Homo-oligomer: A and B are copies of this chain.
Amino acid sequence: MSKAIDKEADCRFMDEMASLMMPWGWPRNVGRMYAYLLLSDKPVTLDTISEDLRIAKSNASVAARTLEQFGNARRHSEPGSKRIYYSAPDILSGPFAFTSQLLGRISGLLASHKALARTDAVDARLDDMAGFYAEIRDAIQGVLDRYAGIASAVEGVPDGEEPSPSLPSSSATRTR
């Protein structure tokens, strides 16, 4: 696996994924790690991630927990060891749980301000726009819900790999 990760194509994959995730607010190395984990067939340690991505272990630690926080990486513990392993997320991953929440908040903001606007035209605009943002949010959430259904149907099937997984929560990345 370390050999596979070092391949030039894998590096390009990680760099390109990082570039595509930056518009969603993901720091560059968070995106690179996300891609790295997608390519990993076994859970990896912070030391391995740090070496393979050529970043400081402190940076790997922060980035890993950022990914984990919204379900974009799985954390595994190993009985009798302090070591933590990280592995690829579920198919349901990426920046969408946070995106969905954000869109809901934008829609709510527009709807709640409607009552304070001064003209009927502005009222109508805010109302229509609130609906628009809500529809985008619902469209995303619909796909997420369907994939969540698939994931929970698959839950409980052991993968036979060491170590045992901890469950992710929801998904996005950028604390500010």
Contacts and interface: CB of A to CB of B under 8 A. Distances in A.
Contact of A136 (B25, B119, B126, B143): B143
Contacts of A131: 91
Interface stretch (A50-58, A63-71, A98-106): A98-106
Interface class of chain A by DSSP: helix
Interface in A97-118: 98, 102, 105-106, 109-110, 113, 116-118
Interface of A: 1, 4, 7, 9-10, 13, 16-17, 20-25, 38-41, 88, 91-94, 96, 98, 102, 105-106, 109-110, 113, 116-119, 121-122, 125-126, 128-129, 131-133, 135-136, 139-140, 142-144, 147, 172, 174, 176
